[in-house]
Structure 1
Amino acid sequence: MTHKVAILGASGYTGAELVRLIDQHPNIDIAALSADRKAGMTMAQVFPHLRHMELPALCKIGEIDFSDIDLCFCALPHKTSQEVIAALPKTLKIVDLSADFRLRDPAEYEKWYGNPHAALEQQAEAVYGLTEFYRDEIKSARLVAGTGCNAATGQFALRPLIEGGVIDLDDIILDLQCAVSGAGRSLKENLLHAELSEGCNAYAIGGTHRHLGEFDQEFSKIAGRPVKVQFTPHLLPANRGILATVYVKGDAKAIHDSFAKAYADEPFITLLPFGEAPSTHHVRGSNFCHIGVAQDRIEGRAIVIAALDNLTKGSSGQALQNANLMLGETETEGLMMAPLFP
């Protein structure tokens, strides 16, 4: 059976990544592509690396006939997604890649994003899109809220440890490096080559990063009590990739065993041999996440390192993984491509 999908916001990085991935899916066809400012253009004009594909021209959202669409990917900016999704047909399956439906509590959304939630009815039915931990709910969901790329990386590195009770929940430090594509495709002065290259800088220092809302929500839910991590993200002068280094109190071998148990049957999560560390080079362009565990020189402390591609496993690959479940497809379909190296 062939499923027809629409991608809203196809002129951004995550939209282009969705097109790249879906092109290799045997049972999904792209029936519509939308872009606001680039409506009327072809994808070949916007993204020349996709010129070999036969794709519909970009159009306005209002020009799409959703009656023949099985699932819609929304790769739109925060806040815009709420307004657009609230107006879509109530029976349409949706995977949202923005932050608009990630936080279950509307008050928490307003706290972290600065404006009241504008689609409370849809928020009530949204399922959090971290596939490995919400698989059963995603299968029957109409609306799935994709995670933040930083939030996904941190959760892959910490959820099994919190659930297994093998670390001190009051002493978690998450140091994360994220490539520049995580900031989107809009023109920003601090992302110009001369401003960004040959350097690395911390941002959202002191607990102001919006993905902390997801960490607070998910980690506290698992633990059954408030859990707050100390988190500092850094902007890397690289196009793709996230590397998270997590410092925890706990027995390193027990931590490695917890990951081995939790991820034994997960096709996209690879646990490295004890003491080995992953690299963003080894997951580039793929839907894989690599995790390593090492003993710290200080007794009773361990270091966990996780690497993934922010545009694939952190966003568009995750979105397709969720869509596969929603459409009754094999979860790994269209996603088993090998990473690009070098």
Structure 2
Amino acid sequence: MKSAAVLGASGYGGGELIRLIDGHPSLQVTYLGAHSQTGKRLEDVHPQLGDSNRVLEANTADLEGVDVVFLALPHGASAPLASDLAGRGVAVVDLGSDFRLDTPERYEDAYGSVHPFPDQLADWTYGLPELVDMGDTNRVASPGCYPTATLLGLAPLLAAGAVAFEGIVVNAVSGVSGAGRSLSENLLFGAVAEGVTAYGVTTHRHRPEIEMALEAYTGRSPVRLTFTPHLVPMLRGIHATITVPVSDGVTANDLRGVLAEFGDGKPFYQVVSGPPQTRWAVGSNRAIVSVYLDESTGNAVILSVIDNLLKGAAGQAVQAANLMLGFDEVAGLPNSGWMP
């Protein structure tokens, strides 16, 4: 049995990590770290996890004998801890955004600040197992939720030459849990219920991440796209609608064939014939995708849904850790959703 620490255990992502690891056949949680909730019992912070005498301690890099550390911390908080831990040979999966981008310039473009460890960015593996070989690494930067949904729908078609690299438009919606657990006026029930709101229009930090991953997977640079996220009044789930011109002579069957071939042998990738619904994916680590050809415009319409807290966060992190540690890729991960 391997030991795991979860730092940032009080948030939504941290809670899901604990739930998944508690059910894992080869991992056990031996340390729980938090910031504002330090000293509280786990059951008081995450009552959904049941009765537990475990106590949240401080976030720290001083962890002896831990095999893997999961960091579920706000932007900017994980970099010093991740750098210290990985530098000492500890396996680290960072669910935050501090090491996702490949160059200091791209990081500054996305976040408007200088990276504290620019020389280390190239040492981290982008943790999307369907696209990237985890290989021999002890440093995994887990992708963002919007990039995960977008990349799993778009990247296979781009790499196969079935669609164009120009004119890519991504419109995506997310449940409010994607914004985290911290109190925010614009996330109050009265601000969210019965409405849909676009945010980060033309400036969202996940756009450079999506472009980076597409460039790495296809070997073509630069890739540019328009990305517009929306907040919708549901708890969890992401639905990405991607429109992009198809290449000459490509048919609807060709598009579906590319996705089907890509998904072959990938346990958390499902291609469906109709429009997927977020509630099919919620509670599971699956990405569910479909694709259509709009004959009137010559555009492919790609639909991709995930659970933002599982395939978009905790589930994907455990999937990457499984591969890093030599476990079965599916160990401890749900493949079925919670519908209804």
Q: Under a length normalisation based on structure 1, what TM-score does the superposition of the two structures give? A: 0.94
Code of the aligned partner of 1:249:
P
Structure 1 unaligned blocks of 5 or more: none
Structure 1 match to 2:262: 262
**C-alpha distance in structure 1 between counterparts of 2:336 and 2:53, whole Å:** 24
Tell me: CA distance 1:55–1:116, structure 2 relative to 1, closer, same or farther (3 Å).
farther
Contact 2:286 2:335 in 1 (8 A): no
Q: Equivalent pairs: percent with the same residue?
A: 38
2:79 counterpart of 1:82: yes
| 1:288 Cα deviation from its structure 2 partner | 0.5
Structure 2 unaligned blocks of 5 or more: none
Code of the aligned partner of 1:260:
A
Out of 205, 209, 215, the residue aligned to residue 220 of structure 1 is 215
Aligned CA RMSD, in angstroms, stands at 1.4
Contact 1:18 1:317 in 2 (8 A): yes
Out of 201, 208, 214, the residue aligned to residue 203 of structure 2 is 208
Structure 1 match to 2:95: 97
Deviations for 1:240-265, whole angstroms, at most 9, x for unmatched residues?
00001111222322211110111111
Out of 50, 66, 72, the residue aligned to residue 69 of structure 2 is 72
3-state SS, counterpart of residue 66 of structure 1: coil
Structure 2 match to 1:20: 19
Tell me: CA distance 1:183–1:69, structure 2 relative to 1, closer, same or farther (3 Å).
same
**C-alpha distance in structure 1 between counterparts of 2:118 and 2:228, whole Å:** 31
2:284 counterpart of 1:286: yes
| 1:26 Cα deviation from its structure 2 partner | 1.1
Report 1:56-71 matches (<5 A).
56-62=54-60, 66-71=63-68
The number of residues matched between the two structures is 334
Structure 2 match to 1:106: 104
Contact 1:8 1:73 in 2 (8 A): yes
2:165 counterpart of 1:169: yes
**C-alpha distance in structure 2 between counterparts of 1:116 and 1:299, whole Å:** 42
Contact 2:166 2:244 in 1 (8 A): no
3-state SS, counterpart of residue 304 of structure 1: strand
**C-alpha distance in structure 1 between counterparts of 2:92 and 2:157, whole Å:** 31
Contact 1:30 1:55 in 2 (8 A): no
| 1:56 Cα deviation from its structure 2 partner | 2.9
The worse-fitting range, judged by mean Cα deviation, of 73-82 and 105-114 is 105-114
Tell me: CA distance 1:81–1:65, structure 2 relative to 1, closer, same or farther (3 Å).
closer
**C-alpha distance in structure 2 between counterparts of 1:279 and 1:96, whole Å:** 28
The worse-fitting range, judged by mean Cα deviation, of 245-254 and 98-107 is 245-254
**C-alpha distance in structure 2 between counterparts of 1:272 and 1:198, whole Å:** 29
Report 1:105-254 matches (<5 A).
105-135=103-133, 138-205=134-201, 207-221=202-216, 222-250=218-246, 251-254=251-254
Structure 1 match to 2:2: 3
Code of the aligned partner of 2:89:
T
The worse-fitting range, judged by mean Cα deviation, of 229-238 and 79-88 is 79-88
3-state SS, counterpart of residue 35 of structure 2: coil
| 1:119 Cα deviation from its structure 2 partner | 2.1
